[in-house]
Structure 1
Amino acid sequence: MKVAIAVDEGSVAQHFGKCQEYAIFDVLEGRIANLKYVANPGHKPGFLPPYLKGLNVDCIIAGGMGQKALTLFAENNITPILGVSGQVNQVIDDFVQGKIESGVSLCTHPDGQHDGCDGHC
């Protein structure tokens, strides 16, 4: 399984599409393999789910995303896990140990921009 984590300054990014980079790793036989970081190529509506699918990602971990992104990830057979926060290395370990569960999207924007990402991300 190939997993991507949206990353900002070493922590899980609040917004998957506006992160600095993605930590992408394989989980093989209960261990982490091939961890690499890929710069975010830019937030353009509808672009990132197929882009990550092109990198063979099966699962995306982030603090949050909007409904449009959720739909696009489903169309690309990528499972989103939302409501996650913390240091990336710890989140990777927790994921491998089965301790990560999806929760409520944490995505917010300053000054009410994008109305909490609904229909946007």
Structure 2
Amino acid sequence: MKKKIAIPLEGNVLSAHFGHCQAFAFVEVENNEIKNITVLDPPEHQPGTFPRFVAAQGATDVIGGGMGPQAISLFNEAGVNVFIGAPIDTPEKLVRSFLDGNLQLSANYCNHDGHKHEHGHHHH
């Protein structure tokens, strides 16, 4: 199984705010082993730029802190799984925890079925 996991960076750790990150780490994983980590500077930030940039690098998953709904839907449209609410840590540690199933997340948005889920319309 091959994955390419993108992580927004502030310095050399996870950026809490996806849209304000300084760079992206792309962690290539094969058979649950980290094979390669590439750090790239993103294009100038405009709405929708970062998700398109990350998807264009061939990312399969994104691990982030906070992320807006537009970015999440752009990733899902591109077939990229989104995992947010991750702790501030290095890309290696985050990906290792993710691969081991130990990463603490507040939410994940996996696009398994292609149909939209409605959230936020609760009638009691």
Same structural fold, with TM-score higher than 0.5 when normalized by the shorter chain: yes
Describe how 1:1-121 pairs up with structure 2 within 5 A. 1-88=3-90, 89-104=92-107
Contact 1:64 1:104 in 2 (8 A): no
Find the residue that maps to 1:73 and give its secondary structure: helix
CA RMSD, Structure 1 to Structure 2 (Å) = 1.7
Q: Which ranges of structure 2 fall in alignment gaps of 5 or more residues? A: 109-124
Amino acid at match of 2:52: P
Alpha-carbon distance in structure 2 between the residues aligned to 1:99 and 1:66:
24
Shift of 1:48: 1.6
The size of the alignment, in residue pairs, is 105
Shift of 1:71: 0.9
Where is the helix percentage greater, Structure 1 or Structure 2? 1
Amino acid at match of 1:103: S
Q: Which structure is richer in relative contact order (CA contacts within 8 A, separation 6 or more)?
A: 1
Contact 1:5 1:22 in 2 (8 A): yes
Shift of 1:101: 4.7
Shift of 1:72: 0.8
Shift of 1:94: 1.1
Shift of 1:95: 1.8
Larger radius of gyration: 2
TM-aligned CA distance change 1:101 to 1:77, over 3 Å: farther
Contact 1:84 1:102 in 2 (8 A): yes
Shift of 1:42: 2.2
**Runs of at least 4 residues of structure 1 off by over 3 A?**
none
If the length of structure 2 is used for normalisation, what is the TM-score?
0.77
Find the residue that maps to 1:95 and give its secondary structure: helix
If the length of structure 1 is used for normalisation, what is the TM-score?
0.78
